């Protein structure tokens, strides 16, 4: 296996043995995720442009699981957006090591699956980046950044783009696991969110700046400045970038970085922004679902039916899917009229839904992964991971991947 150790000056490769495998049942050869031609959904496994999901999984059972990659202290814990764990006595720590009390923004990323490999980052005092075989769960290589931070990785083709602390943003060749180029910032700030790759450019933000770089060479194309330190996750559609800064939705030209429009949302809003059918979908801090014309930035009038969402949204051509404001139930509503199509109540809290093919997938607090019929909400199948899944399920061709609070990554087929 390969451990990628990073410092402020170089990235070097060292051969080490990491991780073990527990396999349950039969597995099939995993294939590359392909987001092309799929309607805009919740999550793009590559994290490159739109939020898209994968195809329908007809049946599901745990096919493989990794060994423990970290330990979660028992008891209740807080999560933010499915990506960050709160600091304090309920923080995670690595197997075989001391407890690390994380600083703000520490936790894990949802998995990214590409080229038959699962990638995700874990920050527990030290920063860790894992690469696991997508079919078996075996460790391929592991990067450690001492007392540092890794943002969520983004994969485009054979390149990984990942931000870190210390003012660094890296492009890594996944064939050789060597650095292709790096972008360095003088302010030594930390990249907190995943990058976006679109039309030959890679975009990322740090300390209130949004950077556009040539994805192949790392050459800086333009910089967009905001007067605040944090820029939300970026969504790209039709030659424009959309993100949130201090309660404003911002739209800029993806080629030039010039402002197209901005819109203040007085009720506040939660990200990520979802784009489908020429509209930007988001929920306010009170859970109300709003839409904005993606070309003009004009807020659209709400229909009479105005349900409240307690999770981020998943969208297809007809419906909006979300966990309810009062928790314990998942809903599908008509994207235009907002009328309820169905409701699923497993009796426990669930994370935000993910749409793939004709199914809606949920990871829930009873330790189960549910597959529901997207049209009716009826359960197709469910499988138990025995523990509380931490991440959202990620769909890549014939498999579903998620991280559980027992410190393992599970592969479902």
Q: What is the CATH number of the domain that holds 135?
A: 2.130.10.10
Q: Give the list of residues 6+ apart from residue 224 with CB closer than 8 angstroms, or none.
A: 209, 210, 212, 252, 257, 259
| DSSP labels, 151-189 | ---EEETTEEEEEBSTTEEEEEETTTTEEEEEEE-TT-P
C-alpha to C-alpha distance for 122 and 142, rounded to whole angstroms: 11
In-domain check, residue 267: yes
In-domain check, residue 311: yes
Nearest alpha-carbon partner for 262 in 292, 239, 235? 292
Q: What's the pLDDT at 232?
A: 86
Per-position pLDDT tens, the chain of length 413: 333 443 333 333 222 223 322 223 222 222 233 322 222 323 343 443 334 455 667 677 888 888 888 775 543 333 333 333 333 333 343 333 322 233 233 477 888 888 999 999 988 778 899 999 999 999 999 999 998 899 999 999 999 999 999 999 999 999 999 999 999 999 999 998 889 999 999 999 999 999 999 999 999 999 999 988 889 889 888 899 999 999 999 999 999 999 999 999 988 888 788 888 889 999 998 899 999 999 999 999 988 877 889 888 888 888 999 999 887 899 999 988 999 999 999 988 888 898 888 899 998 888 899 999 999 999 999 998 777 787 888 888 788 888 887 888 999 98
In-domain check, residue 32: no
Radius of gyration of the chain (CA): 20
With residue 140 as reference, give the H or E element that holds it. Answer: strand 139-145
In-domain check, residue 370: yes
Domain count, the chain: 1
In-domain check, residue 34: no
Q: What's the pLDDT at 388?
A: 76
Q: State the residue range of the domain holding 268.
A: 2-27+39-412
Q: What's the pLDDT at 329?
A: 93
Q: What's the pLDDT at 72?
A: 59
Q: Please, are residues 78 and 379 in contact by the beta-carbon 8 Å criterion?
A: no
In-domain check, residue 68: yes
Strands, E, within 24-69: which ranges?
Answer: 62-66
Q: Please, are residues 352 and 370 in contact by the beta-carbon 8 Å criterion?
A: no
- Cα 282 from chain centre: 16
Q: Please, are residues 254 and 238 in contact by the beta-carbon 8 Å criterion?
A: no
Q: What's the pLDDT at 20?
A: 28
Q: What's the pLDDT at 326?
A: 80
Q: What's the pLDDT at 154?
A: 93
């Amino acid at each position: 296996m390969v451990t990628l150790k990073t410092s402020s000056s170089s990235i070097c490769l060292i051969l080490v043995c990491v991780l073990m495998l527990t396999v349950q049942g039969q597995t099939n050869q995993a294939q590359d995720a392909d987001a092309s031609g799929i309607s805009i959904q919740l999550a793009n496994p590559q994290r490159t442009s739109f939020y898209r999901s994968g195809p329908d999984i007809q049946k599901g059972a745990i096919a493989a699981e990794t060994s423990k990659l970290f330990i979660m202290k028992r008891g209740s814990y807080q999560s933010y957006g499915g990506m960050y764990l709160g600091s304090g006595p309920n923080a995670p720590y690595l197997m075989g090591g001391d407890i690390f009390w994380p600083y703000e923004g520490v936790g894990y990323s949802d998995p990214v699956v590409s080229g038959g490999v699962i990638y995700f980052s874990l920050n527990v005092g030290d920063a860790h980046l894992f690469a696991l075989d997508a079919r078996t769960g075996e460790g391929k290589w592991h990067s450690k950044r001492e007392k540092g931070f890794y943002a969520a990785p983004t994969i485009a083709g054979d390149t990984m783009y990942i931000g870190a602390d210390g003012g660094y943003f890296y492009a890594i060749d996944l064939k050789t696991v060597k650095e292709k180029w790096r972008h360095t910032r003088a302010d030594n700030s930390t990249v907190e969110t995943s990058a976006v790759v679109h039309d030959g450019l890679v975009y990322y933000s740090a300390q209130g700046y949004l950077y556009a770089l040539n994805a192949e060479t790392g050459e800086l194309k333009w910089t967009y400045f905001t007067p605040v330190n944090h820029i939300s996750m970026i969504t790209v559609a039709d030659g424009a970038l959309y993100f949130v800064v201090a309660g404003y939705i911002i739209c800029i030209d993806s080629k030039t970085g010039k402002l197209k429009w901005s819109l203040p949302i007085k009720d506040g809003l939660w990200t990520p922004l979802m784009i489908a059918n020429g509209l930007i979908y988001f929920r306010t801090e009170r859970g109300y679902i709003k839409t904005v014309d993606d070309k003009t930035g004009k807020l659209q009038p709400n229909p009479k039916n105005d349900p409240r969402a307690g999770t981020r949204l998943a969208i297809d051509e007809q419906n909006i899917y979300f966990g309810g404001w009062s928790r314990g139930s998942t809903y599908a509503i008509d994207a235009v009229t907002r009328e309820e199509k169905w409701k699923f109540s497993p009796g426990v809290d669930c994370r935000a839904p993910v749409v793939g093919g004709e199914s809606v997938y949920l990871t829930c607090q009873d330790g189960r992964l549910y597959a529901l019929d997207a049209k009716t909400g009826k359960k197709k199948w469910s499988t138990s991971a025995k523990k509380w899944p931490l991440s959202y399920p990620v769909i890549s061709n014939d498999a579903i991947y998620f991280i559980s609070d027992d410190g393992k990554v599970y592969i479902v087929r």
